[in-house]
Amino acid sequence: MDNWEEFLAPYAQAVSELELKLNSLKHQLSYANNHGPIEFVTGRVKTRESILEKMHRRHITKENIVTDMEDIAAVRIMCEFVDDIYQIVSILRKRHDMEIIEERDYIAHKKPSGYRSYHIIIRYSVELVSGTKFLKAEIQIRTLAMNFWATIEHSLNYKYKGEFPPEIAMRLRKTAEAAFLLDTEMSNIHDDIKEAEKLFAQRKRGQIEHERVEREEK
């Protein structure tokens, strides 16, 4: 690559635009429901070192980098509950400013490491002085618990470069399951609270109706 800054500039623009748009989505969803499904959004452009490492690991040539490296521009959406992730996916599928070209559900099909997240690869256009440029970008959608696990596992991985000793790998898989159990139980509690609120509202409506009938009978 002759000029990294020039090569990465459109990706940086895509990340900024996507962050802005997804933060706007977060706010729109929270106005509508008091508390929305998106907790926070982050974004990053892959570093030169990380691009070179992945090119080497995945045998990606300079000529194929634009088509084969799908996460040079990437944004992450953090949600509270697993159901929120699928809600966001269905919202993104309907947008006209990005075309989904691949979806990878690492929640239903976790990675061997224990990693869970929902990945979407999009085709996205940025407007440059030279004209419209289409590029690929990755959107990762996860719960806070999945993000907690992935962030720590990623930083521990730095030391081992993807090759954890088997005993450590096994313990990390266990912690991934513990994080998922936390997600499942939080969702169950959330569902129970929503059910109790519905019942409470129903009873309240019944009581108001009962009092109205009593008043009319007097």
Give contact residues for ligand 0O2 (rule: CB under 6 A): 46, 50, 54, 58, 71, 104, 111, 113, 115, 119, 150, 153-154
Q: Which of 53, 138, 209, 217 is catalytic?
A: 138
Structure tokens at 63: 């000529």
60 vs 91 by CB, closer to ligand 0O2:
60
Query: What is the Cα Rg of the chain in Å?
Result: 23
Beta bridge partner(s), residue 33:
none
Q: Which is nearer to ligand 0O2, 50 or 175 (CB)?
A: 50
The SS3 of residue 100 is strand
Closest CB 86 distance from ligand 0O2, rounded Å: 18
Of 36 and 179, the one with the shorter C-beta distance to ligand 0O2 is 179
The CA distance from 114 to 150, in Å, is 9
CA-to-CA separations, 69 to 57, 92, 127, 164, 181, in angstroms, rounded:
12, 21, 21, 24, 33
Which residue, 93 or 111, is less far from ligand 0O2 as judged by CB?
A: 111
Q: Minimum distance from CB of 46 to ligand 0O2 (Å)? A: 6
- Known active-site residue 17: no
What is the Cα–Cα distance from 187 to 84, expressed in whole angstroms? 10
How near is the Cβ of 51 to ligand 0O2 at its closest, in Å? 9
Taking the complex as a whole, how short is the minimal distance between the CB of residue 167 and ligand 0O2, in angstroms?
17
CB 115, CB 106: distance < 8 Å: yes
Q: Which residues are catalytic?
A: 138
